[in-house]
């Protein structure tokens, strides 16, 4: 049995490669983490090396004490994940205080988990709590069209949610709670992690201005699908705005309500009726 044949490891690698193929992971851009299920941990425990020391996460995530994660490595390229997962990714364990992690597998030529580990783990902690443990994947990518929009739309959840919803009928069904927006901040530290995790109380997706997108979901398909849907919608908006400054027609508030009724989702009023820009 090879660890690379395990279901969750295969799913992780495929998702990283899909993101690379869509152009969202130039150089070492982006990062992916997966909270491993207890039964999956048992499947791969035989491959763990317990000899490495615990190291500080840089923040406190007591709600994740004792959890195991598969993570991409800091400075590693998504392009190379499929070629050499043991060099570019790792499995880590969180200690019982939720303050330290240790590498149990992977990063076999050295290195550290993703530079965005504080953001990922603080988002996981929030999402584990608010979804009753259902969400397991946090994904950060540099989605091109979405980044472009952070230069021309107001940096508010109202503006981004409403514009993205209007661009594709499936959007309000795929992300009914909307998308949050973090203003430009220095990446990689605790401050941006705190701001992002506050938004994750309410949203499954948070845009980082002039940087990229963070998505949370139950599994690889749902989380990748969320990022893909948001970026596709952003691409349509970029095309629309490139053709002419104003839309000739679009989906109206009462039409969103009809959609919500049929698809049994609740759409917050603030995205339907408030002026967006
Ligand atoms: O380079 O994307 O946000 C990794 C990143 C940092
Ligand atoms: Zn980034």
Residues 14 and 102 in one domain: yes
Residues 275 and 184 in one domain: yes
Distance (Å) from CA 20 to ligand 2 centroid:
13
Same domain, 93 and 163: no
Single out the residue of 233, 185, 186 nearest to residue 205, CA to CA: 233
The conformational region for residue 80 under phi > 0 = left, psi -120 to 50 = alpha, else beta, is alpha
- What does the pLDDT read at residue 146? 98
pLDDT of residue 273: 81
Residues 69 and 164 in one domain: no
> In this structure, what are the phi and psi dihedrals at residue 132, rounded to the nearest 5 degrees?
60, 35
**DSSP class of residue 45?**
G
Rounded to whole angstroms, how far apart are CA atoms 191 and 226? 25
Claim to verify: residue 143 and residue 264 sit in the same structural domain = yes
Tally the domains of the chain.
2
Q: At what angle do helices 190-199 and 117-130 cross, to 10 degrees?
A: 20
Of all ligands present, the nearest one to the C-alpha of 188 is 1
Q: Whose CA is nearest to atom 4 of ligand 1?
A: 29
Q: Does the Cβ of 67 fall within 6 Å of ligand 1?
A: no
Query: How many CA atoms lie less than 13 Å away from 18 in the CB half-sphere?
Result: 15
CB neighbours of residue 62 within 10 Å: 11
Judgement on whether residues 109 and 179 belong to the same structural domain of the protein: no
| 81 lies in the same domain as 148 | no
Q: How far apart are CA 154 and CA 176, in angstroms?
A: 20
* Alpha carbon distance 38, 35 (integer Å): 9
Q: Are residues 196 and 106 in the same domain?
A: no
For residues 184 and 209, the answer to whether their CB atoms sit within 8 Å is: yes
Pocket perturbation via mutation, ligand 1, pick of 31, 193, 207 by most ligand atoms within 8 A of CB: 31
Question: Is 122 a domain residue?
Answer: no
pLDDT, averaged across the chain: 97
Q: Does residue 38 lie in a domain region?
A: yes
Residue 133 lies in a domain: no
- Band of residue 1 on the pLDDT scale cut at 50, 70, 90: confident
**Residue 126 belongs to some domain of the structure:** no
* 169 plus 273 within the same structural domain: yes
CATH classification at residue 65: 3.40.225.10
Claim to verify: residue 61 and residue 182 sit in the same structural domain: no
211-220 pLDDT, tens digit per residue, is 999 999 999 9
What is the extent of the structural domain holding 185? 139-277
pLDDT single digits (tens) 50-60: 999 999 999 99
Please tell me the distance between residue 2's alpha carbon and the centre of ligand 2 in angstroms: 31
Q: Is 118 in the pocket of ligand 1 (CB under 6 A)?
A: no
Answer whether 0.85 is exceeded by the pTM.
Answer: yes
For ligand 1, is residue 116 a contact (CB within 6 Å)? yes
Hey, which residues are catalytic here?
116
Task: For residue range 89-124, list pLDDT tens digits in order.
Answer: 999 999 999 999 999 999 999 999 999 999 999 999
User: Does residue 28 line the site of ligand 1, with CB under 6 A?
Assistant: yes
């Amino acid at each position: 049995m090879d660890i690379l044949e395990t279901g969750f490891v295969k799913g992780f690698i495929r998702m990283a490669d899909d993101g690379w193929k869509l152009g969202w992971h130039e150089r070492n851009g982006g990062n992916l983490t997966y909270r491993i299920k207890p039964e999956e941990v048992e499947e791969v425990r035989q491959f763990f090396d317990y000899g490495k020391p615990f190291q500080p996460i840089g923040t406190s995530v007591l709600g994740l004490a004792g959890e195991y994660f598969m993570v991409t490595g800091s400075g590693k390229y998504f392009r190379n994940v499929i070629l050499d997962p043991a060099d570019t990714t790792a499995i880590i364990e969180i200690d019982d205080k939720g303050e330290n992690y240790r590498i149990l597998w992977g990063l076999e030529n050295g290195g550290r988990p993703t530079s965005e580990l504080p953001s990922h783990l603080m988002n996981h902690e929030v999402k584990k709590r608010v979804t009753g443990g259902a969400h397991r994947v946090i994904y950060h990518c540099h989605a091109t069209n979405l980044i472009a929009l952070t230069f021309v739309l107001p940096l508010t959840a109202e503006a981004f949610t409403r514009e993205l919803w209007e661009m594709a009928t499936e959007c309000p069904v795929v992300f009914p709670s909307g998308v949050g927006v973090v203003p430009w901040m220095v990446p990689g530290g605790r401050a941006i992690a705190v701001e992002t995790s506050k938004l994750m109380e309410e949203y499954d997706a948070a845009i980082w201005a002039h940087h990229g997108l963070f998505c949370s979901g139950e599994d690889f398909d749902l989380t990748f699908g969320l990022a893909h849907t948001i970026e596709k919608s952003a691409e349509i908006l970029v095309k629309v705005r490139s053709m002419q400054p104003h839309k000739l027609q679009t989906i109206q508030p009462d039409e969103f309500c009809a959609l919500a009724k049929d698809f049994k989702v609740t759409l917050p009023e603030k995205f339907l009726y408030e002026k967006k820009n």
